[in-house]
Amino acid sequence: MEWRGDRHRWITLPEHLHLVFPDAGRQSSRSDRLSGYANVHRPVDEDSYLIDYLVTHCYAVSMARPKSEDKRNAIMEAATRVIASQGLSASTALIAKEAGIANGSLFTYFETKADLFNQLYLELKTEMTAAAMKDLPKSGDLRKQVFHAWSNWIDWAVSNPHKRYALRQLNVSDGITPATRNAADKVAVDFNDLIKRIRAHGSLQTAPISFVGALLNGLAEATIVTMINDPDNAKKHCKTGFETFWRAIG
């Protein structure tokens, strides 16, 4: 490396970090500094070189760094907790702080706050549905099948209060797109099929499915709250909630 006077030197840059430097006394633009793929051998100001090198190097490294699934999960878990405690108006900065990352890093994984909330909604619905349908008997009495799914669902909600609170708020948010809701419905198709089979021969067979769903969610929420407030009789309350639902639509 050669020095030219007190402030300049010759430097050869590697191809993947090529910087285009202007003539002495003229400041380069950001687009200049980030363009091109050839070696450069020109006199540059030492301080300007250092700044340009660091900016470009950090840019190149960040673009090449693969996304971390652990970091994405940390963001989703943090968003769940923050929404549960602060509501949907909570800032991405607060979510990032809760996740232990820089706010800018959050947008490496989610383009916007709305994107984050839509993906979180879909993941929570998917997890809840999977829990409800776990080990579901493939055949047999419909009532037993539905009670199995009901019990699993209620147990999941009681065991995951933050997820339940967050999902409840996301479920009524205008920010959740029709496409996301449709994707969630596809995930829950087997669970929804159980409800439709009950409804087909009951008193609510002509009622809109949205009404039946709202009734189901309302009874489930009442059951969950009662179980939390009276854990010693949780199983009894779970069964009572189911019996009420079954009589309403069965």
| pLDDT tens digits for range 168-210 | 999 999 999 999 999 999 999 999 898 888 888 888 888 888 8
Q: Do 229 and 118 have their domain in common?
A: yes
Say whether both 127 and 226 belong to one domain.
Answer: yes
Q: Tens digits of per-residue pLDDT, 46-79? A: 555 455 545 444 544 454 456 788 899 999 999 9
10 Å Cβ neighbour count for 41?
8
- pLDDT-derived band at 240 (thresholds 50, 70, 90) equals very high
Strand partners, 44: 9
What is residue 66's predicted lDDT score, i.e. its pLDDT? 61
For residues 131 and 125, the answer to whether their CB atoms sit within 8 Å is: no
> What is the count of structural domains for the chain?
3
User: So what's the pLDDT on residue 209?
Assistant: 85
Asked if 124 and 232 sit in the same domain, the reply is yes
Compute the half-sphere exposure of residue 202: CA atoms within 13 Å on the CB side of its CA. Answer: 17
Same domain, 46 and 141: no
Is the domain of 153 the same as that of 215?
Answer: yes
Q: Which residue has the higher pLDDT, 61 or 94?
A: 94
Same structural domain for residues 104 and 210? no
Q: 177 and 121, same structural domain? A: yes
What are the strands of the beta sheet with 8-12, ordered from one edge?
3-4, 8-12, 41-45
- pLDDT exceeds 50 at position 237: yes
- Predicted confidence at residue 201, as pLDDT, reads 80
CA dihedral 85, 91, 97, 100 (to 10 degrees): 90
Q: Which domain range does residue 196 map to?
A: 113-249
> Is the domain of 205 the same as that of 127?
yes
Report the pLDDT value the prediction gives residue 67, as an integer from 0 to 100.
74
* Amino acid symbol at 199: R
